[in-house]
Amino acid sequence: MSQYDALLKPLRLKHLVLRNRIMSTAHAPRYAEDGMPAERYQLYHEEKAKGGIALTMFGGSSTVAVDSPLSFKQVDLSDDRVVPHIEKMAAGVHRHGAAVFCQMTHLGRRGSWEGREWLPLIGPSSNREILHRSFAKEMEDWDFRRVIENFADAAERCRKGGLDGIEIIAAAHHLIDSFLSPAINQRTDRYGGSLENRMRFGMEVLEAIRARVGSDFIVGMRLAGDELLEGGLDAAECLKIAAGYANSGLIDFLNIYQSHGDTFRGLVTLMPDMAFPPAPYLYLASAVKGEVDIPIFHASAIRDLATAARAIEEGHVDMVAMTRAHIADPYIARKLMEGRADDIRQCVGANMCVDSENGAVCIQNAATGREKHIPHIVRKGVARKRVVVIGGGPGGLEAARVSALRGHEVVLFERSGRLGGQLNLAKNVAWREGLSGIVRWLEMQIGKEGVDIRLNTGATMQLVQAEAPDIVVIATGGSAKPPGFEGGELAISAWSLLSGESQAGTNVLVYDEIGSQVGVGCADYLGTRKALVELVTPDRHVGEQVGSTAQVHHLKRLYQNDVVLTPNVRVIRAYKEGNGLVAVLRNEYTDSMEERSVDQIVYDLGSQPVDDLYWSLRPDSVNLGEVDYDELIADHPQAVRRNPEGRFQLFRIGDAVHSRNAHAAMYDAVRLMKDL
């Protein structure tokens, strides 16, 4: 008997039999095109169905009305033009044996009044949402009639489109749960005050939907088990709300999660990142399951199979959602059924998928959201070639993995004694140690594929040429870009500190021009070692390039460690004074000057390419390092021939080109190597 057997048991949901207990909840990956779930969106969910999932929900926060903001580039259910797209979504998912639901909502005040048609935002009361900085109009009688009808119309469109069901979201302070929450609802009429009154609007929406779609269409609701908000709904009142809706006979399942969406702190609690332990809010769903007789779903930082199986086997929930886990690997269920659980690429909770403004991308899986162009399952090629990869960071490891899966003979040179590159620095910030999971998985995969890994071997032109390669990939990454200010030689790089090459000072100024995880991570690293730390940046605020949810835990820890945060100033000079150093700072707006006396200055100015080997090898390459971008984008093999005397194709990727991040390096790798 497998420890994961509980996950593979079917579940009957009314007339629908779900083939296992693994699902993906609705989320807004920013893939909608003009409000429609077009090809990219469809392929993203179809891949999960191929991967064996039982149920995938699309259309996170799909809007039912023209005055509901499209804040997250989500799906627009307010018009019949969505129906053909829904039909294609349903057909693609059903083709591979999974069920598919759509989530729907009216976002109320959760968005901007400037968006879409510039219509007023609405809510139970006229108050302001902090995150989107907007006020709402208190709903009038005609607003209630209109919005309830909009919900019913949208539900009917989903049924016409061939979906298996829908989910109404009443959490994160969308419109329905804004009525539920005493923190927002200050009405004194029949929609405010008592719990029964606050539940009334949601009941009227459900009644209208059920009247429109009938009793044989699945309708569920997503609710908070605790708003975790002062003045909001606590766990006891949420339990009463859940029981009230469950006992109404209007819904077929409840999907329980937590928190609110009014602030970034509330948002990261909705979608817990690597700072949270596994399944931190499973107890809320378990409490609801003990009170109701309909199936309970739950999602919150359930990234590994052991936690998921425990949630089902111990009876806490009926369906366990591994949403971000499927962004990292849409083939979780299939690999589990095939006895290949070790091959699952596990989510590390980096939340890049949440924080990216350019559509949900996974820090470690470049195929996610790019299914039309990048395969999740790499197939063998026709010709076997010899590939040499220089550098064992995430880009080099991915290049080696994809090349090996294509059937090539691969040698990887890494000058240090371990693989991982810059990710080895990031994981030294204690709460971000989970990033090491990216390296562990890649290392295991290339080991299984027989890649010849040569650690402690600095590649040279002679070593590379001795391998007689057909393809050479330069993935040597970057080195810390040195400061340009006077006295910059007195400072040390954040890389030097985080690697242990330099010891931490006791009174430290961290100068961050980039605003990425490195600067705030370095200040965190120093703060936990009880140093006096000031984090200085010319940006408007510290960590400006860090994603919104990732910022939350960084800032929490910086404040806990009394790190002084100083934006809008630039270091223009450093000099020695006695046994210490003085940093001269200039304000970006007033040009006023001030000084800091410290014993250490640490900087992050990004990286510069380590590309000496690239330039040495370039004259011997057939393409002289050139990449045909048109062919790359068109998913064609690179065929540039500039040097008739050349002996191999030469490419460089990741930070060996210019300073970027781990995802960019891995995307470079897979898009090049998948067609070679």
pLDDT at 22: 98
pLDDT over threshold 70, residue 210:
yes
Mean pLDDT computed over 342-362: 92
Task: Give the CA angle between residues 307, 308, 312 to the nearest 5°.
Answer: 115
Packing angle of the helix pair 195-213, 141-160 (nearest 10 deg): 40
pLDDT per position as a tens digit, 50-88: 999 999 999 999 999 999 988 888 999 999 999 999 999
d(C-alpha 1, C-alpha 508), whole Å: 56
pLDDT over threshold 80, residue 509:
yes
pLDDT over threshold 60, residue 196:
yes
d(C-alpha 303, C-alpha 296), whole Å: 18
pLDDT at 117: 82
Beta strands in 180-302 (DSSP E): 218-224, 253-257, 296-298
pLDDT at 560: 96
CA distances from 282 to 7, 307, 311, 549, 676 (A): 16, 10, 8, 21, 45
pLDDT over threshold 90, residue 155:
yes
Packing angle of the helix pair 235-246, 282-289 (nearest 10 deg): 50
Mean pLDDT computed over 307-336: 97
pLDDT exceeding 90 applies to what percent of the chain? 90
Q: Does domain 482-605 have CATH number 3.30.70.100?
A: no
Give yes or no for a contact between 33 and 77, defined as CB atoms under 8 angstroms apart: no
Confidence label for 128 from pLDDT (cuts 50, 70 and 90): confident
pLDDT at 433: 86
Residues 6 or more apart whose CB falls under 8 angstroms from that of 405 comprise 378, 379, 380, 449
d(C-alpha 207, C-alpha 248), whole Å: 9
Confidence label for 277 from pLDDT (cuts 50, 70 and 90): very high
Residues of the chain with CATH 3.50.50.60: 482-605
- Please, how many CA atoms are within 13 Å of residue 536, restricted to the half-sphere of its CB? 23
pLDDT over threshold 90, residue 337:
yes
pLDDT over threshold 90, residue 132:
no
pLDDT per position as a tens digit, 15-57: 999 999 999 999 999 999 999 999 999 999 999 999 999 999 9
Burial 7-30 (b: 16+ CB within 10 A, else e): bbeebebbebebbbbbbbbbbbbb
- Our measurement of the distance from residue 529's CA atom to the centroid of its chain's CA atoms, rounded to an integer in Å, reads 30
* CATH class of segment(s) 5-355: alpha beta
- Contacts by 672-675 with C-beta closer than 8 Å and gap 24+? 672/399, 672/473, 672/627, 672/632, 672/638, 673/387, 673/398, 673/399, 673/402, 673/403, 673/406, 673/473, 674/374, 674/375, 674/378, 674/402, 674/406, 674/635, 675/635, 675/636, 675/637, 675/638
Give yes or no for a contact between 665 and 393, defined as CB atoms under 8 angstroms apart: yes
Residues of the chain with CATH 3.40.50.720: 386-479+610-673
pLDDT at 430: 79
pLDDT per position as a tens digit, 610-664: 999 999 999 999 999 999 999 999 999 999 999 999 999 999 999 999 999 999 9
**What HEC string does 287-320 produce?**
HHHCCCCCCEEECCCCCCHHHHHHHHHCCCCCEE
Give yes or no for a contact between 356 and 547, defined as CB atoms under 8 angstroms apart: yes
Give yes or no for a contact between 594 and 588, defined as CB atoms under 8 angstroms apart: no
Confidence label for 270 from pLDDT (cuts 50, 70 and 90): confident
CATH assignment of 386-479+610-673, among 3.40.30.10, 3.40.50.720, 3.40.462.20, 3.40.718.10: 3.40.50.720
Which structure tokens are listed for 310? 């425990």
pLDDT over threshold 70, residue 1:
no
pTM for the predicted model, two decimal places = 0.95
Residues of the chain with CATH 3.20.20.70: 5-355
Q: Of the candidates 540, 514, 536, 538, which has an alpha carbon nearest to the alpha carbon of residue 523? A: 536
Average pLDDT, the chain: 95
pLDDT at 121: 94
pLDDT at 418: 95
pLDDT per position as a tens digit, 578-613: 999 999 999 999 999 999 999 999 999 999 999 999
pLDDT at 586: 98
pLDDT at 258: 95
pLDDT over threshold 70, residue 567:
yes
- Among the residue ranges 26-40, 127-141, 338-352, 658-672, the one predicted with the least confidence is 127-141
